[in-house]
Amino acid sequence: MEPRVLRKKKINKIIKNVKDIKSPKDHEEEVKKVAIRKPVAAKKKKKLQIEEDVAEPVVAHNEDVGDITQLKLDKKQIHDAIKAVFALVKKRAVESATLFKADHEPIFMQINCIRIPQVATRQLRILLPHKLITNMDDVALFVKDLERGRKRDFETTINHYKDMLDEHGCKTILTVIPMLQLKTEFRQFEMRRKLLSMYDYFLTDGRIAGHVAKLLGRKFSTKGKLPTSIRIDSKNLMDEIDYALRKTSMQLHSLGNMHIVKVGHTEMTKKQVFENILAVCKKLAKSYPGGWDNIRSLSIKTGRSLAIPIYVTLKSISQVEVPVVPSKRPKAYKPITGELTTFTGKVAVTLEPDGDITVKRKHSSLEKTLEKSEDANENDVITKKKIKK
Query: Hey, which residues does 142 pair with through a beta bridge?
Result: 177, 204
Residue 365 and residue 237 share a domain: no
Inside any domain, residue 154: yes
Indicate whether 134 belongs to any domain: yes
Q: How far is CA 246 from CA 88, 125, 211, in A?
A: 26, 10, 23
Q: pLDDT band for position 9 (50/70/90)?
A: low
* CA nearest to 142, candidates 110, 185, 104: 185
Is beta strand 247-252 parallel, antiparallel or unpaired with respect to 106-113?
Answer: unpaired
What is the pLDDT averaged over residues 179-187?
Answer: 88
Per DSSP, the residues of 121-146 read: -EEEEEE-SS-S--TT--EEEEE--S
Mean pLDDT (whole number) for 9-33:
51
Helical pair 237-245 and 155-168, crossing angle rounded to 10 deg: 100
**Residue ranges with strand state E in 58-200:** 106-113, 122-127, 139-143, 173-178
Of 239, 283, 241, which Cα lies nearest the Cα of 261? 283
Strands 295-302 and 122-127 turn out to be unpaired
Q: H or E element: which one contains 2?
A: none
Report the number of secondary-structure helices (H) and strands (E) in the chain.
11, 13
Decide if 177 is inside a domain: yes
| pLDDT at position 375 | 61
Together in a domain, 302 and 371: no
- Angle among Cα 221, 225, 231 to the nearest 5 degrees reads 110
Residue 250 belongs to domain spanning: 64-319
Do 304 and 357 belong to one domain?
A: no
**pLDDT tens profile 290-323:** 889 999 999 999 988 889 999 999 988 888 888 8
- CA distance from start to end of the chain: 122
Structural domain includes residue 213: yes
Residues 219 and 254 in one domain: yes
Q: Considering 319, 354, 372, which residue would you say is the last residue of a domain?
A: 319
Return the minimum-mean-pLDDT range out of 17-31, 63-77, 311-325.
17-31
By C-alpha distance, which of 260, 268, 255 is closest to 223? 260
Task: Please give the average per-residue pLDDT across 160-168, as a whole number.
Answer: 88
pLDDT bin (cut points 50, 70, 90) of residue 36 is very low
**How many CB atoms within 10 Å of residue 123?**
13
Q: What is the mean pLDDT of the chain?
A: 76
Residue 277 pLDDT > 90: yes
Same domain assignment for residues 297 and 378: no
Grouping H, G, I as helix, E, B as strand and the rest as coil, residue 111 is: strand
Query: How much is the pLDDT for 48?
Result: 38
How many folded domains does the chain comprise?
2
Q: What is the CATH number of the domain that holds 216?
A: 3.30.190.20
Please check whether residues 228 and 374 belong to one and the same domain: no
pLDDT tens per residue across span 336-360: 877 766 666 677 788 787 778 887 7
DSSP annotation of 324 reads B
> Is 109 found in the same domain as 196?
yes
Percentage of the chain with pLDDT > 90? 17
Higher pLDDT, 128 or 96: 128
Tell me the C-alpha distance between 359 and 368, whole Å.
Answer: 19
pLDDT tier for residue 371 given thresholds of 50, 70 and 90: low
User: Residue 152's closest CA among 178, 171, 133?
Assistant: 178
78: Cβ contacts below 8 Å, ≥ 6 apart = 274, 277, 278, 310
Q: Is the pTM of this model over 0.85?
A: no
State which H helix or E strand residue 307 sits in. Answer: none
Answer whether residue 22 is part of any domain: no
**Of the candidates 36, 228, 25, 32, which has an alpha carbon nearest to the alpha carbon of residue 123?**
228
Give the per-residue pLDDT at 386.
47
Contacts of 175 (CB under 8 A, 6+ apart): 138, 140, 141, 199
Spell out the residues 6+ positions from residue 12 whose beta carbon is closer than 8 angstroms to its own.
Answer: none
Q: pLDDT class for 53, splitting at 50, 70, 90?
A: very low
Q: Is the pLDDT of residue 64 over 50?
A: no
Select the more confidently predicted residue: 387 or 209.
209
- Assess whether 135 and 102 both reside in one domain: yes
3-state per-residue secondary structure call for 250-293? EEECCCCCEEEEEEEECCCCHHHHHHHHHHHHHHHHHHCCCCHH
Give the pairing of strands 308-312 and 295-302: antiparallel
Residue 178 is which amino acid?
P
Same domain as 380, residue 267:
no
Query: How are beta strands 228-230 and 201-205 bridged, if at all?
Result: parallel
CA distance 63 to 275: 10
